[in-house]
Amino acid sequence: GAGVSQSPSNKVTEKGKDVELRCDPISGHTALYWYRQRLGQGLEFLIYFQGNSAPDKSGLPSDRFSAERTGESVSTLTIQRTQQEDSAVYLCASSNRGLANEQFFGPGTRLTVL
Amino acid sequence: RKEVEQDPGPFNVPEGATVAFNCTYSNSASQSFFWYRQDCRKEPKLLMSVYSSGNEDGRFTAQLNRASQYISLLIRDSKLSDSATYLCVVNGLNNNAGNMLTFGGGTRLMVKP
DSSP code string of chain A: ----EEE-SEEEE-TT--EEEEEEPPTT--EEEEEEE-TT---EEEEEEETTSPPB-TT--STTEEEEE-TTS-EEEEE-S--GGG-EEEEEEEE-SSSS---EE---EEEEE-
Averaged pLDDT score across all residues of chain A: 91
Q: Which residues of chain B have pLDDT under 70?
A: 1, 92-99
Which chain B residues touch A if contact means CB-CB below 8 Å? 31-32, 34, 42-46, 49, 87, 91, 94-96, 98-106
Residue A69 pLDDT? 94
Which residues in chain B touch residue A49, judged by CB atoms under 8 angstroms apart? none
Assess whether pLDDT exceeds 50 at residue A56. Answer: yes
Q: What does the pLDDT read at residue B92?
A: 65
**Across the interface, do A101 and B96 touch by the CB < 8 Å criterion?**
no
Q: How much of chain A, in percent, has pLDDT values that exceed 90? A: 67
Residues with Cβ < 8 Å from A34, sequence gap 6 or more? A23, A46, A47, A48, A67, A75, A77, A90, A91, A92
- Residue B10 burial (CB count, 10 A): 12
- Residue pair B18/B76 in contact by the 8 Å Cβ criterion: yes
